[in-house]
A and B are shown apart, each in its own frame.
Chain A
C-alpha cells in the first residue's frame, strides 16, 4: 500500500487497507460470523452501474456506540456509559471535527466514521422506539468493490507527526491480525445458498386492509383540513415465532436487491432492509438529495415502457407529491447550503428500478463552510420536511400511523455521507419482528387516486419483506 497520505503529515486519522483473498460466499459467511460475534453494520449495494452501488462495507469492532433517547445522547465506550445533553447530530459533528482524514475514493467514500440509523422504526410497537437514533463509531471494516471484485480490510491509524513510521508499523501489524482473524472466522462459519426450510413464523398485518384504508382516508382529510401538503403513512406487519434476522436479510437480498441494503446488529435491535432512495449524499462539500415518488410497473417492451413513462408523468397525484418533495428538498438543503447554490437537475426524470418506474429529481447544493454534515442531515429531518413528518394533530395521533420516514447510512471522517430513506425495513428484537413500509400521501381532490397511491406504495415494501420473513 502507498503510505503517501500518512507520510504527508496533513492527516490525523488515516485508513490503511490490505487486500483479502476471499470470495462472495466467504464474505457473506463473514457477515454472519460478525453478526454472531457482536455489534456490526453491513451496508451493501446491489447496483451494478458506475452511478450507484459500487462499494459495500462490513463494519465491525465498534469503538463507540452513540444513541439518542429523549433528546439526549448516550455514549458507550470501553464498557463505560455516559449521557450528554445535545442532539446526536451535534455530537457526531463535534467528534468528526476532531480529526482530518483523507478523501481517496479508491476504496469508496466511507473511510470510517459513524454508521447507523435515525428515526422511528416501528411506530411505538417495539421498545426500540424509545431510541430515536443509534450509530456505531467504526475504525475497522471490510470493503468490497463491485467493479474490481476485490475485498480489502481496513484499519484506521492516528499518526503522531513526530513518529509517523511507528503508526504505519502499528497499522500493518493490526491489518495482519485482522486478516488472520477474518480468515479464521470464515473457516468456522459457513453459510449455504441452497433453498432453506421456511422459518416457523406467523406474519400478520397490524391492521386489516379496510382499517388501513380508513386510516389513510382520515389522514388525507386531516391534511386537507389543515392545509398540510404531504405526510407519510406506514403499513406494518407483526411477526411471531422462530426466525433469524440474518437469514431474513439473506432472503431479502435475493428478493429485493437494491442500491441501498442494510443489516444492522445494534445494541437495541437488529434491523434489515432495502431501499432504492437516496436521501442525502455529501462529498467534497457537494450535497445531493434525490426525492423519488410514484411508481408503476415497467412493461417488458420498449414501447410499453415509453407509454408507462408518459402515463406516470401524466398522473396528477404523482406529479403533485413529487412537486412537494422537490420543494421540501430545496428548502431542506437551503438550510445548510451556500446561498444561491441550490439547483435542480433533471426535474421529474424517470428511473427504472426492479422493473418499476419512479419519478426522481436531483437537487444539488454546496455545503456552507463550517456546517457539519450531520447538521446538514438534521435539517432534512425537521417537522414538515421531506421525510414526511407533519405538525399538528396528524403527527400526534398514533392511530393514523403517520410517522416521519427513517434514514440509514454513514457519516465519514472525510466529511462524506451517504444516507438512504428506509422505505421498508424489518426490526427484530428478541421476541418478535415488526415490518414497516412507508408511503407518501397528499391531500387532493382526486381522493380515490390518493388512497390507491398510498396503498400500492406501501404494499410492495411490506409484502416483499413479509415474504422474506416467511421464507
Chain B
C-alpha cells in the first residue's frame, strides 16, 4: 500500500489513481493529518505530492520527508523541497511561472527506459539551491536552464522530482511511477 500525501495541490487523487492502475494499493491522506495518527509500517512507499509552497499545512509531509531509509520515498515538487530541507539543503524563490521544458537525465532510476529530452510541466515558484545542496544527494535530471529537476539518495531509497509526473503535460508519468515502485 502506497501512502500518497495530499499537499493541497492538484495531484494527490490522480497520483493515487495512477499508482493503483499499476497494481499497487494507494491511499490519500491530507498533509494536515496528525503524524501521530500515521503508522509508517502500514505502507510500502510514500509519495509527497505537489502543492502550494507556503508549507503552512505540512505537518505530515515534513515528518515523512526524512525516513532514514526506512521506506521508499518520492517527493514531487513541494515534496522534493521538503526532502531537501529536511536534509539541510535549501530552495530559492524564482517567482511563479507555469511552463513546459525538456529534461536531460541519467537514464537510470526513475528514468530507466525513458529517452532523453522528454517534455515535463513545471511550476517553478521554487527551485533547489544548487550551491547549498547537501552532498548526500545525487542529481538525476536537469531542465534546460540547468535547474535540478530530479535528485536521489539511493542508500536511503529517496527520490525527488521538480516536475509532476501526474501532470497532464508531463510525458512518461506512469512509467516514472512504475520505475519508482520497482526500484527497491
Contacts and interface: CB of A to CB of B under 8 A. Distances in A.
A228 B18 CA distance: 24
Interface residue SS majority, chain B: loop
Given A319-B98, A330-B10, A334-B17, 17 more contacts: A225-B54, A227-B96, A227-B123, A229-B123, A323-B98, A323-B168, A324-B98, A327-B14, A331-B166, A342-B17, A384-B10, A391-B52, A391-B57, A392-B52, A442-B96, A445-B95, A445-B97
A359 to B, nearest CB: 14
Interface of A: 223-229, 319-320, 323-324, 326-328, 330-332, 334-335, 337, 339-340, 342, 344, 347, 379, 383-384, 391-392, 442-445
A383 B57 CA distance: 13
B57 A224 contact: no
A226 B54 contact: yes
B39 to A, nearest CB: 24
Nearest to A321: B98
A220 to B, nearest CB: 9
Contacts, number: 94
Nearest to A322: B98
Contacts of B123: 227, 229
A384 B52 contact: yes
A88 to B, nearest CB: 21
Interface residues of B, number: 31
A392 B14 contact: no
B8 A391 contact: yes
Nearest to B20: A339
**From A229, A342, A383, A442, residue with most partner B Cβ within 10 Å:** A229
Contact of A330 (B14, B16, B95): B14
Given A224-B95, A227-B78, A444-B97, A324 B10 contact: yes
B20 A331 contact: no
Contacts of A320: 98
Contacts of B11: 327, 331
Interface in B50-83: 51-54, 56-57, 78
Contacts of A344: 168
A335 B27 CA distance: 11
B96 A443 contact: yes
A320 B124 CA distance: 12
B96 A444 contact: yes
Interface in B99-117: none
A335 B11 CA distance: 10
Contacts of A334: 13-14, 16-17
Contact of B54 (A327, A332, A340, A392): A392
Contacts of B139: none
10 contacts: A224-B125, A229-B98, A320-B98, A323-B121, A328-B10, A337-B17, A339-B17, A391-B8, A392-B54, A443-B96
B167 A327 contact: yes
B53 to A, nearest CB: 3
A226 B52 contact: yes
B87 interface: no
A327 B53 CA distance: 17
Contact of A331 (B10, B21, B125): B10
Contacts of B126: 227
A358 B136 CA distance: 48
B56 A392 contact: yes
Nearest to A336: B13
Nearest to B164: A327
Contacts of B98: 229, 319-320, 323-324, 442, 444
B134 interface: no
A379 B56 CA distance: 22
Contacts of A227: 51-54, 78, 96, 123, 125-126
B47 interface: no
Contacts of A330: 10, 14, 168
Interface in B166-180: 166-169
